[in-house]
A and B are shown apart, each in its own frame.
Chain A
Amino acid sequence: MPSFVSSPIWRVAFALLTKSTLRHWGQAKGSYLLIIAIVALGVGSLNGIRQASRAATANFGLFNEAISGRSDFLIEAPAGPIRETQLPGLAPLSRQPDWHLLPVIEGPFTQVSADGEPQRLLRLIGLDLVAVANLPTFIDREFAFGQAESRWNDWVGAAPRVWISSSLAADSGLKVGDSLRGAVGGRMHELEVAGMLGDADNPVPEDLLIADLPAAQAILTRVGEIDRIEAVVNDRAARQSPARMAEIEDRVRALLPEGLVFRAAAERIAERADMTAAFRLNLTILSLIAILVGAYLILQALDTAVVRRRAELATLKSLGVGQRALFLTLMLESLLIGTLGSILGLGVGVLLASGAVHLLADTVNALYFATSVEAIRMSGVDIATGLAVGIGFSLFAGLLPARDAMFTPPAQILSRGDWSPGFVWLRRPWTGLALVGAGLLCLLLPPLPLAGGARLPLGGFLAAGCGIIGAALLSGQTLVWIARACQRVAVGAATKLALSRLADGSSRHRLAVAGLVVAVAMVTGMVQMVGSFRVSIERWFDVRFQAELYVSERTAGGASAVNGIAPEVLQAVTTGPAVTFADTLYISPVGAPSGRTYLGGVDLGAWSGRVAQIWIKDPGALAPAADAQPAFISETFARRFDLMEGGKITLATPTGSRDVTPIGIYADYGNEFGSAVIAAEVWKQWIQADRAINTSLYLQPGTDANVVRDALRLRFPGLEIRNAQELRTLALGIFEQTFRVTSALNGIGLTVAIVGLALGLFSLFAESAGTWATLRRIGFPAKSFALTAGVEGAGIALAAWLSGTFVGLCLGWLLIYVINVQSFGWTLVWHLPVGAFLGLGASLVVFGFLAGALTGAWHRRGLS
């Protein structure tokens, strides 16, 4: 045991902890369980968000891992797919028995019900089902595609047969030999179910479809193409040795033919992780804010406990227990609360994650890439983070009450009357002003570039944090001003008494206001951002989407759940008699100087004219650079690659590096990585593909769009065809989906703050016991007690709402003009939902009044 533990202070603190603190816990189990639960909720929220976002984004692309095991290396083309004709060049690499090479192709397959409605998005993976049998994991898991080797060719080849997961089979009622119907690229397919994979011991993702490579290529109409070649090291023990893996990597690189690139699998995972880095970081920051507000609640709760034990603390002081011993005792109590709450929070985190993961996966699906949910896992880092955050925040929250306790005067002094700790620093404005000043300075910081091309607006976030806390510390003065102003017009003894107490601006009143200001500011700021986003998107829709019908591949949704419309299908759709013009978009990811971006192919002439856009820079406003392909670029693209005033950029395409130069900048809220569009014919040459992602149909004047829509739907069941209203509804639905988590966190933060207000009022009134007793002796009516307390509560809420709204407006400006621009590179229309703000204020004031009145009445009863 460390020597300090036997020192007198520690000895006394432990004695007090065991004989006094824990016995108080036993007497007020409910209160302490609540405090522990608050810590658990805070830790659970943080860990839950982390685990959920990890599980939602972890299982992307390498879906076949369940079958083939974890891949160690990847071989890819620098851009676009690998051609099958490149495979013989890999034969020398393939001959080495130290690893296995597995060509893989994958694509989305939308399962469709009997009446043609999309049911779910599945991932079709094409593997060499013969070669995969060499893989150690495959052998270990005792998978089998066929029944007997002598008939091996029965289950390989180009015939459309697939193996599905046992869970999908159970869910869809499919058995071997049944037909799985679905759409790819606008065409309908019937696939034969050749077998089931996976069981309870060896689960495979539910949405996984496995086919032999030639079969998958045929279904995806990508004959001759391969997405990547995965390399699995044969000796699994070698994976644990970095030196061995480095040696293997060197050998692979040495044998790799021209035209292919080597990538460690971890890089790909990191690249995918980078794509969602900003998204996940935003979520983490939001959950940290939730914890901060939770810490405030813990502070209030612990302080209430100190107030309750004031007399005991005074006795201890009079018996000679020192300040440091009391401080240490209270901090040990915080430590215990933090530890128990954190341990409980780890379990809560798993529960919350399980609930949130599908929500997040939907968001990732909608915004980034197709992902399949992996099981929620708690790693050592999660445990350490949860404990550190929970204990850390509990200790932080316990500091003030511990200080409060250590300054409690001895019993001889306390018995003289009401006493409250000074919290002198709350009355001094310098701390708040300094924080606000620091926040303004932080605005000067440039955004932090993240791997993958995203950017973190670090200065913006720091400015927001400093500003909120600084303003919260200054908000107590608002309370005093409001109270003094109202005092002039107040009538009635109860109201005057309440206003006089508010105008006095005690430290406890200021603390109660400060806590609520943080939550109000956060909510107000977020509501503005979400509202502004919505308004901006609606405006964009109104301008941009003028066509009558919108045609895309039939899919259950998702950013990369697209294979493209088959060319012959596109031809048939766009040359219908009712169609005057089709605005067709081709798109492909390409490599950019940092990370990736998107290159599109369109009718540039039409984009300059009949197809409306919101132009940030009109076509022709920018002088094109020489020897580069002219392009329209999105605002995000322009900001990300510093092309707002024109210039040139080199992109990596399947046919090599290509230069593009902007001749106009348009608004686009579609993706945060930006896009550039060039002439469609050039795009086809560069990308060596000819599948469009969508087309917008402009119809003959007077044509009934819905009639044309219905006819097209009948003729092309593999296509999704929507009119303008339907598309708008869909897009806004995705928008709502992406902000669901934000709304949830807003709700948590506000709830926690309101409960904190109630606890704060409780402490406030508890410390005024002497005053209440006196009032009672002089005949102050019970109803007046409630009214006084209610007015105090309402006053605190009003002051917090006013201050918080002001801060929130500043935060909104920050979010829209700094954080959003730096993170995503797009300009939003600032929208102030005044009605929502007023509603929030009214609700808070009403709640503050009710909380105060009830607390006051409770105290009044206690005096009887």
Chain B
Amino acid sequence: MKKWLTILVLIGTFVSAQAEPNPWIEPPLTTERNFPVPRPDVVPEIPAAHGSYPAYAIEWWYWVGHLRAAETDEQFGFQSTVFRRAAGPDAGDAEDTAQCGDDQLFMSHAGLSDLTAGRYTHVERIYRGGWQAHSAEGQLDLAAGPIMAMENGQGGFSMTVSYPDDSRLELTLTPTKPMVSFGDRGLSRKGADPAAVSWYWSYSRKAVRGQLWRNGEATAVEGVAWMDHEISSSQLGSNLAGWDWTAIQLDDGTEVKAYRLRENDGGMDPWSACYWIDEAGEVSYVYADRFEWREIDAWTSDDTGLTYPTSVDIVARHPDTDIIRTYRLRPLLDEQEFRGNRAENPYWEGACEVLDENGDRIGLAYLELAGYGGGLAAQLAQ
């Protein structure tokens, strides 16, 4: 019996070892280019966590949200992203006060989906750190091209995003749930490369109020938003062609975040993950082996000719309840393709509704489909 028990334990150990396809990989202190790599077990402190980490190679602040006009039926979706890229590992040594600096590069992407009129507006700008773009340390004070965001002194952020034809959004975003930190020991991993980790801090739900200015007239809007702030020095493994990512805000007050890292050969990278955030802000997650990303339908862009799987079903087994959940994402507007200044790297980022198995709406989501026009890995590798 004892022998069988030993064998069973051994077999059990082996099986349980096999059942953990995403073991902990200790990240190095620096990347090959000597950028610091985010450390594990770092607890983000407010407000410094909102500010910039200039020594790290790559950083972005990302907001998506769903708005409705307070007095009409109009509905909107918005996406505002500021990317920062450091010139070199010494970029964060001292503050670059030059008006045309050469330490940091900023790229801003602003998209606005008018879901009622069926119109999508987007703008990209690239600036060096200086008078046209900056990100302060210690708190959120960010400006890059058309996007400006800062602490408003009342626990939230104020954000102004300018669009073509003198349109702009002026929003106040106030977290309604605590900030979450994704990943094992506070590190979100995107690949097997030891340095492929990031601090990934999000507000999964923020109340939004503000105004949308169009043709000199303001429309009061309100809604809900999601914010990500990610800091790393190396992201994707070179085996990756791109990613599909979604932030789901369910009507029951919980959120789901999922992303599929697509390998060059078409498979799903094992570090793909699905996260649940409950009402209290507690996070549970599974990796690729415990959820599926099913492409249901696609849309082809007339401008770029690229085809995006914009209707997807995410089927995941909740790690705590073991219940299989199905989230059906359907785009609220087909044409939400973000095309930058050059034709090199368009992606689809759009507002979606979330349906359950029965086809009933259970929430809203933003879906991002990147890398369908070419390899993004080189863009984000350091």
Asked if residues B132 and A131 are in contact (CB atoms below 8 Å), the reply is: yes
Interface presence of B126 (CB below 8 A): yes
Among B128, B163, B382, contact of A128 (Cβ-Cβ < 8 Å): B128
A91: chain B residues at CB < 8 Å are 131-132, 143
Asked if residues A95 and B99 are in contact (CB atoms below 8 Å), the reply is: no
Asked if residues A150 and B382 are in contact (CB atoms below 8 Å), the reply is: yes
Contact count band on A: 20 to 34
Binding site for A on B (CB under 8 A): 85, 87-88, 98-100, 102-103, 105, 110, 123, 125-128, 130-132, 143, 145-146, 148, 160, 162-166, 341-342, 378-379, 381-382
**Distance between A217 CB and nearest chain B CB, rounded to angstroms:** 9
B85: chain A residues at CB < 8 Å are 150, 152
**Distance between B142 CB and nearest chain A CB, rounded to angstroms:** 12
Asked if residues A152 and B164 are in contact (CB atoms below 8 Å), the reply is: no
Asked if residues A251 and B128 are in contact (CB atoms below 8 Å), the reply is: no
Docked Cα-Cα span, A157 to B104, in Å, equals 12
Asked if residues A84 and B126 are in contact (CB atoms below 8 Å), the reply is: no
Asked if residues B166 and A98 are in contact (CB atoms below 8 Å), the reply is: yes
Among B110, B166, B379, contact of A251 (Cβ-Cβ < 8 Å): B166
Asked if residues B99 and A88 are in contact (CB atoms below 8 Å), the reply is: yes
With most chain A CB atoms within 10 A of its CB, the pick from B99, B166, B381, B382 is: B99
Chain B residue nearest in CB terms to A128: B100
Residues of chain A from 95 to 122 with CB closer than 8 A to chain B in the complex:
95-98, 101, 103
Asked if residues B145 and A152 are in contact (CB atoms below 8 Å), the reply is: no
A149: chain B residues at CB < 8 Å are 105, 379
**Distance between A310 CB and nearest chain B CB, rounded to angstroms:** 75
Q: Mark A123-146, 1 if CB is under 8 A from B, else 0.
A: 000001011011000010000000
Interface presence of A48 (CB below 8 A): no
Interface presence of A612 (CB below 8 A): no
Asked if residues B88 and A153 are in contact (CB atoms below 8 Å), the reply is: yes
| 23 A-B contacts (beta carbon < 8 Å) | A87-B99, A88-B131, A90-B131, A91-B132, A91-B143, A96-B162, A97-B110, A97-B125, A103-B100, A128-B100, A128-B128, A133-B126, A134-B125, A134-B127, A139-B342, A150-B381, A152-B105, A153-B87, A153-B88, A158-B102, A213-B100, A214-B100, A235-B164
**Distance between B343 CB and nearest chain A CB, rounded to angstroms:** 9
Beyond A96-B146, A157-B102, whether A134 also contacts B166 by CB under 8 A is no
Docked Cα-Cα span, A251 to B216, in Å, equals 11
Asked if residues B102 and A97 are in contact (CB atoms below 8 Å), the reply is: no
A interface secondary structure, majority: helix
Asked if residues A130 and B164 are in contact (CB atoms below 8 Å), the reply is: no
Docked Cα-Cα span, A96 to B146, in Å, equals 6
Q: Mark A205-229, 1 if CB is under 8 A from B, else 0.
A: 0000000111000000000000000
Docked Cα-Cα span, A320 to B130, in Å, equals 89
A150: chain B residues at CB < 8 Å are 85, 378-379, 381-382
Docked Cα-Cα span, A128 to B105, in Å, equals 12
Residues of chain A from 148 to 180 with CB closer than 8 A to chain B in the complex:
149-150, 152-153, 156-158
Chain A residue nearest in CB terms to B381: A150
Residues of chain A from 428 to 476 with CB closer than 8 A to chain B in the complex:
none
**Distance between B95 CB and nearest chain A CB, rounded to angstroms:** 15
Interface presence of A234 (CB below 8 A): yes
A87: chain B residues at CB < 8 Å are 99, 130-131
**Distance between B105 CB and nearest chain A CB, rounded to angstroms:** 6
Asked if residues B100 and A134 are in contact (CB atoms below 8 Å), the reply is: no
Docked Cα-Cα span, A91 to B128, in Å, equals 13
Asked if residues A130 and B127 are in contact (CB atoms below 8 Å), the reply is: yes
Asked if residues B163 and A153 are in contact (CB atoms below 8 Å), the reply is: no
A251: chain B residues at CB < 8 Å are 166
Residues of chain A from 185 to 221 with CB closer than 8 A to chain B in the complex:
212-214
The 8 closest A-B pairs by CB, nearest first: A153-B87, A87-B131, A157-B102, A130-B128, A97-B123, A84-B99, A87-B99, A153-B102
A213: chain B residues at CB < 8 Å are 100
B143: chain A residues at CB < 8 Å are 91, 95
B379: chain A residues at CB < 8 Å are 149-150
B381: chain A residues at CB < 8 Å are 150
Asked if residues A139 and B341 are in contact (CB atoms below 8 Å), the reply is: yes
A130: chain B residues at CB < 8 Å are 105, 126-128
Docked Cα-Cα span, A96 to B192, in Å, equals 41
A139: chain B residues at CB < 8 Å are 341-342
Docked Cα-Cα span, A153 to B88, in Å, equals 8
Interface presence of A94 (CB below 8 A): yes
Asked if residues A95 and B131 are in contact (CB atoms below 8 Å), the reply is: no
Docked Cα-Cα span, A138 to B103, in Å, equals 23
Chain A residue nearest in CB terms to B144: A95
Chain A residue nearest in CB terms to B123: A97
**Distance between B170 CB and nearest chain A CB, rounded to angstroms:** 12
- A-B contact sample (14 more), CB < 8 A, given A95-B145, A157-B102: A97-B110, A97-B145, A97-B146, A128-B128, A134-B127, A149-B379, A150-B85, A150-B381, A152-B85, A153-B102, A213-B100, A214-B98, A214-B102, A235-B164
**Distance between A126 CB and nearest chain B CB, rounded to angstroms:** 9
Docked Cα-Cα span, A212 to B102, in Å, equals 10
B110: chain A residues at CB < 8 Å are 97
B128: chain A residues at CB < 8 Å are 128, 130-131, 156
Chain A residue nearest in CB terms to B98: A214
Beyond A90-B131, A214-B102, whether A95 also contacts B148 by CB under 8 A is yes
**Distance between B49 CB and nearest chain A CB, rounded to angstroms:** 25
**Distance between B88 CB and nearest chain A CB, rounded to angstroms:** 7
Docked Cα-Cα span, A95 to B133, in Å, equals 9
Chain B residue nearest in CB terms to A83: B99
B125: chain A residues at CB < 8 Å are 97, 134
